[in-house]
């Protein structure tokens, strides 16, 4: 396809049962980089919100101590990287995320917890959360507006169960772009669904114990009780 304009940006709007997806595809920029996608949302009373900020990505990875077993097991969390806690239901993933959120906030670190549902642990830890439904528009709007060093997201497994691997894959790609813009992004899943290539840090959890880790510091050879 030939373009006669200096700058070409294609706006895509698709509606699915799980919500609307909007993307700006940069096809051509005179003197600049092209061929990339920028997810965005339109929020009533606010306007257009770009999900991934335009600031350059820091080349140096910053490590954050959480005050939890993640410090021993993985060296903490890493700004600019996408993390996943993997384990079966009841393994302690949500418990560990909330414990880390509370500890980080007590240390003065800006940490946000985006929750798709389930308030028992949230109330137990006294952690304020951003609650979204099974709607990508709400999730993306939250990601576009939060200003945090660490963003925790619970409930993405439901997207896979309801809508399949392709939606989970595209959502993880967006989260990877969010992570590359600066914050540490941490999600939880029951299984990697053969998408491990998208994650920078993988923490396997079972019975509130970290059983194995893939992180910038390498792998650990022993279990770490949380």
In this prediction, residue 222 carries a pLDDT of 73
The tokens of 170 are what? 């595209």
Q: What is the DSSP string of the chain?
A: ----SSEEEEEEEEEETTEEEEEEEEEEETTS--SEEEEEEEETTTEEEESS--SPPPSSPEEE--SSHHHHHHSSEEET-EEEEE--TTSSHHHHHHHHHHHHHHTT--EEEEESS--HHHHHHT---EE--S-HHHHHHHHHH---SEEEEE-THHHHHHH-HHHHHHHHHHHHHHHHTSSEEEEEES--TT-GGG-SEEEEEETTEEEEEEBTTB--SS-EE-
Q: Strand 184-189 and strand 201-206: pairing?
A: unpaired
In this prediction, residue 95 carries a pLDDT of 92
The answer to whether residue 203 scores a pLDDT higher than 60 is yes
pLDDT digits (tens, 9 = 90+) for 63-111: 999 999 999 999 899 998 999 999 999 999 999 999 999 999 999 999 9
201 forms beta bridges with: 83
> Considering only the top CATH level, what class is 62-225?
alpha beta
Q: What is the CA radius of gyration of the chain?
A: 18
The tokens of 74 are what? 């993985």
**When comparing pLDDT for 33 and 70, which is higher?**
70
**When comparing pLDDT for 117 and 123, which is higher?**
123
Q: What is the mean pLDDT of residues 219-223?
A: 70
Calculate the CA dihedral of residues 21, 22, 27, 33 and round it to 10 degrees.
Answer: -100
In this prediction, residue 55 carries a pLDDT of 46
Q: What is the mean pLDDT of residues 11-15?
A: 71
pLDDT digits (tens, 9 = 90+) for 163-200: 777 778 888 888 988 898 889 999 999 998 888 888 98
Share of the chain above pLDDT 70, in %: 73
Q: Which band of pLDDT confidence, cut at 50, 70 and 90, is reported for residue 211? A: very high
The answer to whether residue 22 scores a pLDDT higher than 80 is no
Domain boundaries, the chain: 7-50, 62-225
150 forms beta bridges with: 111, 184
pTM, two decimals, is 0.78
């Amino acid at each position: 396809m030939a373009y006669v304009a200096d700058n070409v940006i294609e706006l895509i709007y698709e509606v699915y049962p799980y919500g609307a997806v909007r993307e700006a595809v940069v096809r051509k920029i005179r003197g600049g980089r092209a061929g990339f996608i920028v997810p965005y949302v339109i929020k009533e009373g606010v306007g257009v919100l770009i999900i991934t900020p335009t600031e350059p990505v820091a080349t140096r990875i910053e490590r954050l101590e959480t005050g939890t077993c993640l410090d021993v097991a993985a060296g903490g969390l890493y700004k600019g990287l996408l993390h996943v806690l993997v384990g079966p239901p009841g393994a302690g993933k949500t418990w560990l995320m909330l414990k880390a959120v509370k500890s980080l906030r007590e240390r003065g670190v800006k940490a946000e917890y985006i929750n798709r549902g389930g308030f028992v642990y949230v109330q137990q830890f006294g952690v304020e959360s951003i609650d979204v439904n099974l709607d990508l528009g709400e999730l993306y709007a939250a990601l576009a507006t939060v200003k945090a060093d660490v963003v925790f997201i619970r409930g993405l497994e439901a997207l896979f169960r309801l809508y399949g691997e392709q939606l989970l894959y595209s959502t993880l790609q967006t989260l990877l772009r969010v992570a590359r813009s600066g914050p540490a992004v941490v999600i939880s899943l029951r299984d990697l669904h053969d998408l491990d290539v998208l994650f920078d840090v993988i923490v396997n959890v079972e019975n509130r114990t970290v059983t194995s880790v893939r992180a910038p510091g390498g792998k650990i050879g022993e279990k770490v009780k949380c």
